[in-house]
Structure 1
Amino acid sequence: MCLKTFTLFLLGYISLTVTTATAQQLSTSDSIDIFIKHKMQQRHIPALQIAVVHAGKIIKSTTYGTANLEYQIKATDESIFSINSITKAFTGIAIMQLAEEHKLKITDPLANYLDSLPGAWKNITLQQVLTHTSGLPDLLDAEEQVLGHGDEQEAMQKVKMLPIEAQPGEKFSYNQTGYVLLGQIITKLSGMHFTRFIEERQFKVAGMKLTRFGDSYDVIPNYAGAYTMTRQVGDRFVVNSTPGVSYIQFPVFFRTAAGILSTATDMANWIIALKSGKLLKQQSSIAALWTPAVLNNGKIGGFNLLTNGYALGWPTVTRDEHPAVGPVGGRRSALFVYLKDDLSIVILTNLLGGNPEQFIDEIAGYYIPDMHEVSGFGLPANLKKLRAELLKKGFDQAIPVVSHLKKNDPAFQLTEKELNGWGYQLIAQKNMPAALAIFKLNVSLYPQSANVYDSLAETLEETDQIPEALVNYKKSLALNPQNKHGAMRIKTLTEKQAN
C-alpha cells in the first residue's frame, strides 16, 4: 500500500458586510472549492463539475480545471462529460415509467416480452436484470470490449451461446447483457427507439438542454473528453504519472448501459424532476427504484463496502447513517442522493480513475457536519465502538481496550481490512500516533498477515522510525516473499542506513 496524504483546510475569509446566513453559505462553498481543488491535484483530475441540490434547488454549481489538455481549453459550466454507467439509472426510470403505464411489471419474466431467448434466460425477471442478479453471461469480453463489433444481432448471437453464470438471484454480478435486453423491451413497448424514449420522457421533461447520447467517435460541442492514468502493456496495466487520452465507444444498442453525456447542472435538474414527480408520478415507483435487491440468501450485494447494494439501475449505499443511492460511472462520475437528508450531490470528471464516489461523502460533510471522516463517519459499528473507547482511554491503549471489549461481548469482532482502512484514514487526517496504534493493534490480532506488517512498517518509516520499519518490512517479506514493495523498501532503507 502507498501512504495517502491529506490537507486540513481552513474556512475561507468572508466579508463582514454580508449577512450571517450568506457568510455561512459562502464559507461552506469556499471550503468545498479548496477541498475539490486539492482532490483534483492529488488524483490528477483535469476537469471536474459539481452540483449540489437541497430543498428542490441547486445551491452550488461550479466547474474547475481543464476540459482539453491537448489545447489547454478551460472547462466551463457548459462542458459536457460522459456519465458512463450512470446511464443505467435512466434506464431504471424508463422501465418504471412503462410500469406506471401498466405496460409491464418488473416481476415479469423476460420471455413475456422477448422471443428467441435461450431456455435458461426465459424465467429471469426484469427486476433481476435491472439489479444485476440475473446470472446472465456478460456482453463484454475479457478486454471489456462489447461483443459483435458494434452489431447488435452479432452481439446477441454470441452472448446467447455462452453458459449462464449463476442461478437467478444467487449473487450480484455486474452485467451489461441485461441492459441491452431492457433496451429492446423499452423500444418494443414504447413504440420508439429507447434512446428517443429517454430523450423525450427524461431529458426534455427535466430541462436537460445539453444532455445527449454519444461516445468518443461523435463530434460533441464542448466535450470535456476522457483521460486515464493507466496504459495497457501486454496483459497488464501500467500506471502513468500524467493523464493520457482514453477512447471509448458505446454501440447504439448498448446505450441503455452506458452512453449518456451531460453536465452537473443538467444532472441536478434531472434529480429535481425525479424527486418532484415529473418523471415518475407515484412515490411507490421511486421507492421501488431505490430499493436494493435481496439475494436468495437474504443478503444484498453490490460493488464494494460503500456501494454495497443495487436497486433498479441505481447502486445503493445501504447503511444506518445517511443512507444514499449512488450511481457511479466509469470510475469518473458519481451522483449521490442522500435519502434522509434532502441533499444530492453530482460530481462529473473527465478522468477514468478519478473515483469521485470515494470523496463525495466528505463533500456532503460540509452540509451535514457529522459526515466527516474525522468524526468517525463511515466506520463499521464495532470500529465506532472501539473509537469511542480509545478517545476516552487513549489510542496507545488499543490492545488492552480491544481485549476488554471482546471479554464483555464475545460477538465483538474487528476485521483486518477494516482496521487497515481506518489506519490509513487516520494517516490522511495527520493523526500519525493514532494510526501507528491501530496498525500495531492489527499486527497483534492478525500476526500471520504480511499486509498488516507492511502497513505498520510504512507508517513507522513515515515517522522516521527506520530500525522498527525495517523489522516489520522483513516480517512482511518472510510471510509473503512476493511482496515487492517490502523488498524494495528494505533495500532502500538498508542502503540509507549504510550511508
Structure 2
Amino acid sequence: MRRMSVTGLALLLSIGAAQSAQADALDDAVNAEIKRQNIPGLAIGIERDGKIIRLSGYGSANLEWQIPVTPDTRFQTGSTGKQFTSLAILMLEKDGKLSLDDPIAKYFPDVPASWADIRLRHFLSHTSGLDDDFAKVDLQKNLTWEEFRQFIYKWPKTRPAGAKWVYSNAGYQMLGMVIEKLTGAPYHRYLESQIFRPLGMNATRDLSETEIIPFRAAGYEHEGGKLGGTLGNQAWAAPIFNHTADGSTYITARDFTTYLAAMDAPNPTFAALWAKAKAPVIKTDPDKPVSYGMGWFTVTKNGTPIEYHGGSWQGFRALIVHYPQQKTGIAILVNSDIPEWLPLFDKVIAAAVPDLPPPPQ
C-alpha cells in the first residue's frame, strides 16, 4: 500500500476544510433568506469541469405535508426552459428539417400580414417585433390550440423584425407549435427523446394537471407579491398555459446540474448547438452590456463571461448560470415567487461560487 506523504495529507485536509467552509456559507446564506423572505423550499446544484460537486435541498416541497426538498424534487422551470425550445429548433435545423431563416408564414400561412418579415431566428432572439401584454391575458380561460394561436396573432407588432430586443413569450409559444407541426408529436415528446434522455435527465418532463407525478413540488405565492405577504398556493391557470414552449417543464436540481455539466464535458452531439444558441445576437439595451442569443443571456462581468437565464411562473422561480471559462455551472430552483429575488440569487451565488461574479438581473 502506498503511504500518503504529510504534504499530500495536508493538501487533502485543506481542500476538505475549504469545501466545508463553502458548504457552511451556502447553507447559512440560503437559510437566512428562507427565513427572511418566508420561502417554502429551494434546491441548488453546482457542477465544475463536467462533474456535479454539490446538490442540496432546503425547506419544504409541500407545506401542507411538510415534505422536504431534495435534489430530486421536481420544480417548474419557468423561462429557464426556453433554452430547451431553442436547442430543439437548432437540432431540427441540423437535421435539415427547417432553417432559422424560414418565415413563420411557411408553417402557419394564416399569420397576420404584418408578420411577413418574421423569421424563426427572430422568435429565438426576442426580436420579432411583437409586444407581449400579459396584463390583458385571462389565465383562467382555457383555449384550444387553434384558438390560442389566433389569440397570439392579436399581439401588437410595433417594429420591424430584427430591429429591437423585446422579451416575448409569444415567440417561443409559436416555436413550440412549429416543433409539433414538424415532428407530429407533442412538443415535450421531442425534447424527451432528443435532449433530456440522451443527456441523462430522466426526471425532466412536461407539466400535467391530471397525472400522478412523484416528487412534484407545490408552488406558492406571497399576497401582493410583497415581502411579509401571506403565503398561499399558486393561482390556478388554465391547462393551455401550462403546456406551451416558453417554459412549461418540470425539472430537478440533479437534472439541471447534469445539463450544465454536459456543457463542460466533451459532448460532440450538443457542443456546436450550445455554442450557436449562446452566441450574442442583439443587446437587450443599447446602453447596457447584456446581450441575448437564442434562449440565453450573455454578458462579460469583471472580465468573466457569463451565460444565464432566469424563469418565473406562478409560484416558482429559477435561475441557471454558466461560467464557460471556469467550466462551472449553478442551478437554483425555488417553489415560491420570492418577493426579493435579486438579493436571494446574488447571496446564493456569492456563497456557492465566491470566486465568480453573479450575473446582472
Q: Sort the TM-score into its range (normalised by shorter chain).
A: 0.7 to 0.9
CA distance in 2, matches of 1:281, 1:178: 26
CA distance in 1, matches of 2:67, 2:14: 37
Contact 1:128-1:134 within 8 A present in 2 as well: yes
Report the secondary structure of 1:205's partner residue.
Answer: coil
Is 1:188 matched with 2:170?
Answer: no
Shift in CA distance, 187/253, structure 1 to aligned 2, threshold 3 Å = farther
Is 1:271 matched with 2:260?
Answer: yes
Shift in CA distance, 256/358, structure 1 to aligned 2, threshold 3 Å = farther
Shift in CA distance, 220/317, structure 1 to aligned 2, threshold 3 Å = farther
CA distance in 2, matches of 1:95, 1:190: 11
Deviation, 1:88, is 0.7
Partner of 1:117: 111
Deviation, 1:93, is 0.8
2:172 counterpart (163, 168, 179): 179
Report the secondary structure of 2:177's partner residue.
Answer: helix
Contact 2:45-2:55 within 8 A present in 1 as well: yes
Number of aligned positions between the proteins: 346
Deviation, 1:156, is 1.8
Contact 1:109-1:122 within 8 A present in 2 as well: yes
Is 1:324 matched with 2:306?
Answer: yes
Is 1:209 matched with 2:202?
Answer: yes
1:36 counterpart (14, 26, 30): 30
Partner of 1:98: 92
Is 1:315 matched with 2:325?
Answer: no
Is 1:342 matched with 2:353?
Answer: no
Bigger RCO of structures 1 and 2 (CA < 8 A, at least 6 apart): 2
Shift in CA distance, 37/282, structure 1 to aligned 2, threshold 3 Å = closer
Bigger proportion of residues as helix: 1
Deviation, 1:332, is 1.2
CA distance in 2, matches of 1:93, 1:243: 36
2:277 counterpart (289, 314, 324): 289
Letter in 1 for 2:87: I
Bigger proportion of residues as strand: 2
Letter in 2 for 1:301: T
Once the two structures are superposed, residues 117-173 of structure 1 have per-residue CA deviations (whole angstroms, 9 ceiling, x without a partner) of: 2111122121111111111243x6425545962321112223324431322123222
Once the two structures are superposed, residues 215-256 of structure 1 have per-residue CA deviations (whole angstroms, 9 ceiling, x without a partner) of: 56654322211111134xxxxx66643321113535278421
Contact 2:76-2:248 within 8 A present in 1 as well: yes
Once the two structures are superposed, residues 39-90 of structure 1 have per-residue CA deviations (whole angstroms, 9 ceiling, x without a partner) of: 2222221111000000100001010111111222222232211111111111
CA distance in 2, matches of 1:143, 1:72: 36
Shift in CA distance, 123/147, structure 1 to aligned 2, threshold 3 Å = farther
**Any unmatched runs of 5+ in structure 1?**
1-15, 232-236, 295-299, 380-499
Deviation, 1:355, is 6.0
Once the two structures are superposed, residues 365-409 of structure 1 have per-residue CA deviations (whole angstroms, 9 ceiling, x without a partner) of: 44654546xxxx889xxxxxxxxxxxxxxxxxxxxxxxxxxxxxx
2:126 counterpart (121, 126, 132): 132
Report the secondary structure of 1:352's partner residue.
Answer: coil
Partner of 2:193: 200
Contact 2:129-2:163 within 8 A present in 1 as well: yes
CA distance in 2, matches of 1:151, 1:277: 42
Shift in CA distance, 55/369, structure 1 to aligned 2, threshold 3 Å = same
Contact 1:215-1:248 within 8 A present in 2 as well: no
Is 1:301 matched with 2:301?
Answer: no
Report the secondary structure of 1:206's partner residue.
Answer: coil
CA distance in 2, matches of 1:218, 1:59: 32
Letter in 1 for 2:219: A
Letter in 2 for 1:113: Y
2:244 counterpart (246, 250, 255): 255
Question: Higher mean Cα deviation, 186-195 or 59-68?
Answer: 186-195
Letter in 1 for 2:293: A
CA distance in 2, matches of 1:37, 1:79: 18
**Any unmatched runs of 5+ in structure 2?**
1-9
Is 1:63 matched with 2:65?
Answer: no
Shift in CA distance, 248/212, structure 1 to aligned 2, threshold 3 Å = farther
Shift in CA distance, 107/352, structure 1 to aligned 2, threshold 3 Å = same
Letter in 2 for 1:75: V
Partner of 1:477: none
Partner of 1:243: 231
Once the two structures are superposed, residues 272-319 of structure 1 have per-residue CA deviations (whole angstroms, 9 ceiling, x without a partner) of: 2344465x636443222012322xxxxx116x979x332211233443
2:79 counterpart (85, 91, 95): 85
Report the secondary structure of 1:132's partner residue.
Answer: coil
CA distance in 1, matches of 2:101, 2:140: 28
CA distance in 2, matches of 1:81, 1:219: 15
CA distance in 2, matches of 1:83, 1:274: 19
Partner of 2:4: none
Contact 2:23-2:352 within 8 A present in 1 as well: no
Report the secondary structure of 2:230's partner residue.
Answer: strand
Once the two structures are superposed, residues 439-479 of structure 1 have per-residue CA deviations (whole angstroms, 9 ceiling, x without a partner) of: xxxxxxxxxxxxxxxxxxxxxxxxxxxxxxxxxxxxxxxxx
Report the secondary structure of 1:92's partner residue.
Answer: helix
Letter in 2 for 1:319: K
CA distance in 1, matches of 2:130, 2:114: 9
Shift in CA distance, 137/274, structure 1 to aligned 2, threshold 3 Å = same
Partner of 1:170: 163
Is the radius of gyration larger for structure 1 or structure 2?
1
Shift in CA distance, 248/292, structure 1 to aligned 2, threshold 3 Å = farther
Contact 1:292-1:311 within 8 A present in 2 as well: yes
Contact 1:67-1:223 within 8 A present in 2 as well: yes
Shift in CA distance, 355/128, structure 1 to aligned 2, threshold 3 Å = farther
CA distance in 2, matches of 1:305, 1:361: 19
CA distance in 2, matches of 1:272, 1:378: 19
CA distance in 2, matches of 1:102, 1:142: 38
Question: Higher mean Cα deviation, 141-150 or 40-49?
Answer: 141-150
CA distance in 2, matches of 1:275, 1:114: 38
Letter in 2 for 1:260: T
- Residue identity over aligned pairs, in percent, reads 28
Report the secondary structure of 2:304's partner residue.
Answer: coil
